[in-house]
Amino acid sequence: MFGGIKMEEEIMEVDRAILGAIKENKAPLSTYGIAKGANISWSTANTHCYKLKSMGVINAKKESRFGQSKVLWQIGR
């Protein structure tokens, strides 16, 4: 279990690193922030964040500022 969330067999080591980075920060993180915190590439973080989102483990929130948009990730609630 990770913070009350049941882990399934599909959770890989990189997914655990992503979840750890999000939990450690306590505030929603961008994909870039997750990649830095988990020491993985942005594309790996992006792919695995969408995988975790499809599993219902994390949530995504789009934020737009000055014409740019980014996704912020947080542990599912």
Give the CATH number for residue 21: 1.10.10.10
Q: Could you tell me the residue range of the domain that residue 42 belongs to? A: 13-75
Q: Mean pLDDT, to the nearest integer, of 6-31?
A: 87
Q: Is residue 1 part of a domain?
A: no
Please give the pLDDT value at position 10. Answer: 82
β-pairing verdict for 58-65 and 68-75: antiparallel
Residue 64 resides in a domain = yes
The number of domains in the chain is 1
Q: What's the predicted TM-score (pTM) here?
A: 0.81
Q: Which two tokens stand for residue 77?
A: 């609630």
pLDDT of residue 2: 53
pLDDT, position 18: 97
pLDDT tens-digit readout, 23-68: 999 889 999 999 999 999 999 999 999 999 999 999 999 988 888 8
